[in-house]
Amino acid sequence: MGIVSPGFFGRRRSDDPALPPGQYRTEDFPVLSAGPTPRISPDEWEFTITTETGQVHRWSWTEFLALKQDDVSTDIHCVTSWSKLGTSWRGVSLDTLFESVESECEFTMAHSYGGYTTNVPLDDLLGGKAWIAHQFDGETLEPAHGGPARLLVPHLYFWKSAKWVRGLELLRQDEPGFWESNGYHMYGDPWREERYW
Amino acid sequence: MTDSADLDYLDGNAAAGPLSEFFAVDVVSARGRCAHCGRTAALATARLYPSSHGLLLRCPGCTEILLRLVDSGDSVCLDLHGLSFVELHRDEGGSQPNPQPPA
């Protein structure tokens, strides 16, 4: 593959009610690389939720796959203006993962293999709004798209859906993640065009 | 899809244009020290990942981020926390040693 990811062949669909303002529809799935793609084998993969008391809830790949699995059909919206409608994912709801977690925090920081971080309010991860996804279109999620598993928070701009996710840290106060500390919006609602500070 | 054999970055020379908005000189010819591993080399030798979210220069030694640039249209935000210093020689090209002090 060349230096430029394929797939930016969208056309303007500003009259499409499924598209948030300023978005274009694409049928492809562009890859935006902020760095080298981490290669994490299932044997070494784990997912953790760390509370404000330091308690760590931990799932191995096998334990993660044994949890209740959801099939999700949803639209995704990238802050760089492409949207992809009707995407299909399979993964574990954050509601399932948080069943055994006790916390008074309202904010989280997602941490990824490779060092990427992004902040998401806890309310936006619960209530059937977010998943840890490990399949896309019926296939194993490829490393370029965040495999083995990525966060999926489709009602926010897609930079919040952290690729290669390895854990969530519960925070008492909101803190900026990787892009939020350098100009991107703390929340990122595509319907309100919350792209930048 | 990208695989490990593919080149998914450019060299730092490709950052010269976007950075020219901040610097009066061609700053990619300056030497920068990675705040993480200490590697010191011309910024032109760094790896530029052309993520559409912003411009990222990464250290070719440890792959940590040296510099981030985000253009939001109304403003441009430059984060240099990954560089512990930048050294620019005044001679043309920026790659020659300092001149000897006068005798």
**For chain A, domain boundaries:** 44-192
CA angle A182, A4, B59 (to 5 degrees): 50
CA dist B84 to A83, A140, A166, B66, B80, Å? 38, 41, 29, 9, 8
pLDDT given for residue A14 in this prediction: 61
Say yes or no to pLDDT of A4 above 70: no
Q: How many domains does chain B have?
A: 1
Instruction: With respect to residue B61, please indicate whether it lies within any of the assigned structural domains.
Output: yes
Find the closest chain A residue to B71 by CA distance: A183
Q: Please give the pLDDT value at position B8.
A: 77
Question: In the predicted model, is pLDDT for residue A73 greater than 90?
Answer: yes
Range with lowest mean pLDDT among A33-42, A69-78, A127-136: A33-42
B82 is a domain residue: yes
Give the full edge-to-edge strand order of the sheet including A117-121. A56-60, A46-50, A165-171, A107-112, A117-121
CB-CB contact of B68 with B17 (8 Å): no
Higher pLDDT, A33 or A85: A85
Is residue B52 a part of any domain in this protein? Answer: yes
Q: With respect to residue B62, please indicate whether it lies within any of the assigned structural domains.
A: yes
How far away is chain B from the Cα of A20, in angstroms, using its nearest Cα? 18
What pLDDT score was predicted for residue A33?
73
Q: Which residues have a Cβ under 8 Å from the Cβ of A27 and sit 6 or more positions away? A: A9, A10, A84
Residue B24: predicted pLDDT: 86
pLDDT in tens, chain B (103 residues): 334 445 678 899 989 988 998 888 899 999 999 999 999 999 999 999 877 789 999 999 999 999 999 999 889 999 999 999 999 988 755 444 444 554 4
Average pLDDT, chain A: 92
CB pairs under 8 A between A and B: 69
B7–A3 C-beta distance less than 8 A: yes
Contact: B56, A34; criterion CB under 8 Å: yes
Reply yes or no on domain A44-192 having CATH 3.40.50.1110: no
pLDDT in tens, A129-145: 999 999 999 999 999 99
* A125 contact partners, CB below 8 Å, separation of at least 6: A94, A98, A108, A153, A168
Q: Which residues of A touch B74 (CB under 8 A)?
A: 196
Chain A interface test: which of B3, B7, B53, B57 (most A C-beta within 10 Å)? B53
Of B52, B64, B77, the CB nearest to A183: B77
Is residue B67 assigned to a domain? Answer: yes
State how far residue B59 is from chain A, nearest Cα, in angstroms: 11
Q: Which of B36, B51, B81 to mutate to test the interface with A (most CBs of A within 10 A)?
A: B51
Answer for the pair B45, B14: CB distance below 8 angstroms, yes or no: no
Q: Residue A6: pLDDT above 70?
A: no
User: How confident is the model over A3-31, as a mean pLDDT?
Assistant: 73
Range of the domain at B66: 10-87
- pLDDT, residue A197, reads 82
Closest-CA residue of chain B to A115: B64
Residue A9 has pLDDT above 70, yes or no: no
Contact B2 A37 (CB under 8 A): yes
In a domain, B98, yes or no: no
State what percent of residues in chain A have pLDDT above 90: 87
Partners of residue B8 in chain A, C-beta under 8 Å: 1, 3, 33, 36-37
What's the rounded Cα separation, in Å, for the pair B56 and B82? 11
Minimum distance, in Å, between the CA of residue A189 and any CA atom of chain B: 16
| Contact flag B72-A159 (C-beta cutoff 8 Å) | no
pLDDT computed for residue B92 by the predictor: 56
| pLDDT given at position B98 | 46
C-alpha–C-alpha distance, residues A54 and A35, integer Å: 30
Q: Do B1 and A179 touch (CB under 8 A)?
A: no
pLDDT tier at A116 (50, 70, 90 boundaries)?
Answer: very high
Whether residue A40 is predicted with pLDDT greater than 80 in this model: the reply is yes
Residue B66 lies in a domain: yes
- Give the nearest partner residue to B51 out of A34, A36, A144, using CB atoms: A34
Residues of B in contact with A36 (CB under 8 A): 8, 63
